[in-house]
């Protein structure tokens, strides 16, 4: 009986695997892969505004909508820091943007952003999207939500939208590092194979 149960479980797992088919569905409004970005100018934690046109010697940017309060964002903090440390010198700095309404998520206020950036030694911009216009333009829906951009002259285009990797809770168990793979492909002059993924995250706390 035990063996039979085991076989059934093994069979079902295999079946589940077979039934798992990735599908590509751009959804919602905002930027899609291939779209050109309209530049933004948002206040950084040091009080100075940051915009894409202000970036120098880069090939693109890893724009990440994230925040302080969401456990899924917190789970990815160290990986966001690692992405910046690894890819800034290769021309892809991280630009983190906090779009949450501080009235709904008090931990995401501008002073709290400064506090968190200091605690975690963020070396990348952590921008306050006070009007939420940038999050809306991008079509950001959750935190964390990544938009990988490439640069041609002064034009930035979206080449990847989605998650950082495929395991939020256990980084070492992630089998797909979407952002890293996408950047490697871009640097190789290849199109990004997996250019859209979804992940569970916190809703962006929109103003009423």
Partner 1 sequence: MHQLKNICKLVLLLGITSTSAQAQSSKIIKWPELESLLNNKSDTTYVINFWATWCKPCIKELPYFDKLAETFTGKKIKVVLVSLDFKRQYETGLKPFLVKNNVVSDVLLIDEPDYNTWIDKIDKSWSGAIPATLILNNSTGVRKFYEQEFTLEEINNTVKPLLP
Terminal CA-CA length for the chain: 58
Asked if 199 interacts with partner 1 (CB under 8 A), we say yes
Please calculate the CA angle 14-26-165 and round it to the nearest 5 degrees.
55
* Number of CB atoms found within 10 A of residue 78's CB: 11
Q: Which two tokens stand for residue 25?
A: 């569905």
3-state secondary structure of 133: helix
Shortest spacing between CB 168 and partner 1, in angstroms: 6
Asked if 121 interacts with partner 1 (CB under 8 A), we say no
Asked if 27 interacts with partner 1 (CB under 8 A), we say yes
Spatial distance between the Cα atoms of 46 and 43, rounded to a whole number of angstroms: 8
CB distance 146 to 63 below 8 Å: yes
Which residue's CB is nearer to partner 1, number 128 or number 205?
A: 205
Residue of 23, 47, 172, 189 that binds partner 1 (CB under 8 A): 23
Residue of 1, 2, 3, 19 that binds partner 1 (CB under 8 A): 19
Asked if 141 interacts with partner 1 (CB under 8 A), we say yes
Spatial distance between the Cα atoms of 70 and 203, rounded to a whole number of angstroms: 9
Asked if 103 interacts with partner 1 (CB under 8 A), we say no
Q: Which two tokens stand for residue 207?
A: 């103003």
CB distance 190 to 129 below 8 Å: no
Shortest spacing between CB 90 and partner 1, in angstroms: 25
Which residue's CB is nearer to partner 1, number 34 or number 173?
A: 173
Asked if 208 interacts with partner 1 (CB under 8 A), we say no
Asked if 204 interacts with partner 1 (CB under 8 A), we say yes
Which residue's CB is nearer to partner 1, number 52 or number 63?
A: 63
CB distance 50 to 72 below 8 Å: no
Which residue's CB is nearer to partner 1, number 27 or number 49?
A: 27
Contact residues: partner 1, CB under 8 A: 8, 11-13, 15-16, 19-20, 22-23, 25, 27-28, 71, 105, 141-142, 162-163, 166-170, 173, 175-176, 197-204
């Amino acid at each position: 009986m035990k063996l039979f149960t085991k076989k059934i479980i093994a069979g079902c797992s295999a079946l589940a695997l077979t039934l798992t088919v990735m599908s590509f569905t751009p959804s919602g409004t905002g930027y899609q892969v291939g779209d050109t970005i309209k530049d933004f100018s948002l206040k950084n934690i040091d009080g100075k505004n940051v915009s894409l046109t202000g970036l120098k010697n880069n090939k693109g940017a890893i724009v990440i909508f994230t925040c302080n309060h969401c456990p899924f964002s917190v789970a990815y903090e160290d990986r966001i820091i690692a992405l910046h440390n690894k890819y800034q010198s290769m021309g892809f700095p991280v630009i983190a943007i906090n779009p949450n309404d501080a009235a709904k998520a008090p931990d995401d206020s501008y002073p709290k952003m400064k506090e968190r950036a200091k605690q975690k030694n963020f070396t990348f911009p952590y921008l306050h999207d006070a009007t939420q216009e940038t999050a809306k333009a991008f079509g950001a829906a959750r935190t964390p939500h990544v938009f990988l951009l490439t640069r041609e002259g002064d034009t930035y285009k979206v080449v990847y939208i989605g998650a950082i990797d495929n395991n939020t809770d256990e980084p070492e168990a992630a089998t797909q590092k979407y952002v890293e793979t996408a950047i490697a492909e871009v640097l190789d002059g290849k199109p990004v194979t997996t250019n859209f993924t979804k992940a569970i995250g916190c809703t962006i706390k929109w103003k009423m």
